[in-house]
Amino acid sequence: MPIFHHRSRIDAPIGEVFDWHGRAGALERLIPPWENVRVIERRGGLEDGSRTVIGLRKGPLRIRWTAEHRDYVAGRQFVDEQVEGPFARWVHAHRFLPEGEDACVIEDEIDYVLPYGALGDWLMGGSVRRDLERSFPFRHRRVADDLARHSLYRERPRLKIAIAGASGLVGTHLSAFLKTGGHRVYRLVRRSPIPGADEIFWDPSRGDLDPADLMGLDALVHLSGRSIGSWRWTPAVKRSIEYSRIASTHLLAETLAGMGQPPPTLICASAIGYYGDRGDETVDEGSAPGTGFLADLCERWEEASVAARDAGVRVVNLRIGLVLSGSGGVLQRMIVPFRLGLGGKLGGGRQYMSWISLDDLLGTILHALHSDDAIGPINAVSPQPVTNADFTRTLGDVLRRPTFLHVPAVALRALFGEMGQALFLEGARVRPSVLADAGFHYLHAELESVLRWELGRMPARAR
């Protein structure tokens, strides 16, 4: 019967590491971005009798997996055992061993048996082992990275934070990340809130948001808005994109402005589309806005938060670059064609792509929540933007696939119209001056680093 072991030293006190695993959001943070897994239900914490239900997809298969916890020892270990799922046996022991006052060792031991006996071992044994060897170095590093980020603000009080757009890619991960840091997270939802679920009703289309529901909050993070890259930009689609951002921001800002004691911080998403198409020019937060639909949209989007700023709320406008994550967004959509050898540069390939890893975007938001001097525009981008040709070549190298194909500009314009021109053929070389001046530490400042991390392609020596 196979036994899998993995151990890592974590530079954090054993109590903090153990507590991190017991908080809501921990399991979501431990799921590798290249795995198609979602948490369906979680009852209890780590104690004996607690249960977790997850759903996973492997190719065409949809699998439901239920695990029950046992052998709990506070601060030292817990065990989860499969009671329903794909394995004939799965017993996963999590152990935490102290190494002085400021460090510990995480030890994972998995005793598992594949279904179908010898046939299952022959068909799936190698792939299951490789999956484990790829996933657990990721899990342990994720724990270490998240704890290191939260430790920067260890002396600050835990916050009550509401998130608009909590069901999107960034909002989902931000919610889990903040919860594992001990913060309480509320979701703004457009349906009747579930009792006891930390949800707040709002409806931007009707201007519905009860100020009483925001009382006692420390911050609002506004990430809501219709995707700009899912539909060709007809006049109706452009109006919908504008309305989804501007009306919702107006509603939040004006609601805060009308409160006697509003939450002190409002963090609003914006985008580097603010700068328009700038060629080789380097731009930062002090640069003038560009021209075109996206630049005009971002300028109006940021202006919609002025009412809150004028009322004394600390407003941060995050000008977010291309967010790279293996679990969603543009990178996930690119994987299949690149793996098939169909990836290639777009147009001339000289347009700049200013990007940021999902983890560094979460770190930027945490910095903005805790830093009282963070105010106004902040470019949420890596300090190393790349051209489209460089991005294409690097992704091909990470996936070990050729990238000889070339999509002509005329074809992109014909297929996608104005959207194709703005999203695929234009760009800006954006510098994160505010973050640089604050000494912000990036987990992934280089493109190859984030691509390998998000796609599970770390070299064996790094794992």
pLDDT of the residue at 1: 67
Q: Which of 27-31, 264-268, 350-354, 459-463 has the lowest mean pLDDT?
A: 459-463
Q: Judge whether 461 lies within some domain.
A: no
Q: Please tell me whether residues 139 and 170 are part of one structural domain.
A: no
pLDDT of the residue at 196: 87
pLDDT over 70 (residue 463): no
Q: Please tell me whether residues 169 and 219 are part of one structural domain.
A: yes
Domain count, the chain: 2
Residue 318 sits at the vertex; the CA angle it makes with 364 and 188, to the nearest 5 degrees, is 90
Q: Judge whether 463 lies within some domain.
A: no
Q: Judge whether 462 lies within some domain.
A: no
Q: Please tell me whether residues 293 and 380 are part of one structural domain.
A: yes
Q: Please tell me whether residues 100 and 186 are part of one structural domain.
A: no
- Give 314's contacts (C-beta < 8 A, 6+ positions apart): 264, 265, 266, 372, 374, 375
250-301 per-position pLDDT tens digit: 999 999 999 999 999 999 999 999 999 999 999 999 999 999 999 999 999 9
Q: Please tell me whether residues 115 and 195 are part of one structural domain.
A: no
Q: Judge whether 198 lies within some domain.
A: yes
Q: Please tell me whether residues 59 and 207 are part of one structural domain.
A: no
pLDDT of the residue at 120: 82
Listed residues 96, 125, 151: the one ending a domain: 151
Q: Judge whether 345 lies within some domain.
A: yes
What is the domain range of residue 75? 3-151
pLDDT of the residue at 85: 93
Q: What is the 3-state secondary structure (H, E, C) of the chain?
A: CCEEEEEEEECCCHHHHHHHHHCCCHHHHHCCCCCCEEEEEEECCCCCCCEEEEEEEECCEEEEEEEEEEEEECCCEEEEEEEECCCCEEEEEEEEEECCCCCEEEEEEEEEECCCHHHHHHHHHHHHHHHHHHHHHHHHHHHHHHHHHHHCCCCCCCCEEEEECCCCHHHHHHHHHHHHCCCEEEEEECCCCCCCCCEEEEECCCCEECHHHHCCCCEEEECCCCCCCCCCCCHHHHHHHHHHHHHHHHHHHHHHHCCCCCCCEEEEEEEHHHHCCCCCCEECCCCCCCCCHHHHHHHHHHHCCHHHHHCCCEEEEEEECEEEECCEHHHHHHHHHHHCCCCEEECCCCCEECEEEHHHHHHHHHHHHHCCCCCEEEEECCCCCEEHHHHHHHHHHHHCCCCCEEECHHHHHHHHHHHHHHHHHCCCEECCHHHHHCCCCCCCCCHHHHHHHHHCCCCCCCC
Average pLDDT of the segment spanning 122-148: 94
pLDDT over 60 (residue 101): yes
pLDDT of the residue at 462: 53
Listed residues 151, 177, 207: the one ending a domain: 151
Listed residues 119, 151, 183: the one ending a domain: 151
Q: Please tell me whether residues 236 and 362 are part of one structural domain.
A: yes
Q: Please tell me whether residues 140 and 192 are part of one structural domain.
A: no
pLDDT over 90 (residue 121): no
pLDDT over 60 (residue 13): yes
What are the backbone dihedrals phi and psi of residue 193, each rounded to the nearest 5 degrees, phi first? Answer: -60, 145
* CATH number of residue 129's parent domain: 3.30.530.20
pLDDT of the residue at 459: 73
Instruction: State the chain's mean pLDDT as an integer.
Output: 94
Q: Please tell me whether residues 81 and 119 are part of one structural domain.
A: yes
pLDDT over 90 (residue 444): yes
Q: Judge whether 122 lies within some domain.
A: yes
Q: Please tell me whether residues 87 and 105 are part of one structural domain.
A: yes
Q: Please tell me whether residues 250 and 178 are part of one structural domain.
A: yes
Average pLDDT of the segment spanning 89-115: 95
* CATH number of residue 356's parent domain: 3.40.50.720
Q: How many CB atoms lie within 10 A of CB 2?
A: 14
153-210 per-position pLDDT tens digit: 999 999 999 999 999 999 999 999 999 999 999 999 999 999 989 999 999 999 999 9
Average pLDDT of the segment spanning 133-154: 96
Q: Judge whether 115 lies within some domain.
A: yes
Q: Judge whether 356 lies within some domain.
A: yes
Q: Please tell me whether residues 224 and 147 are part of one structural domain.
A: no
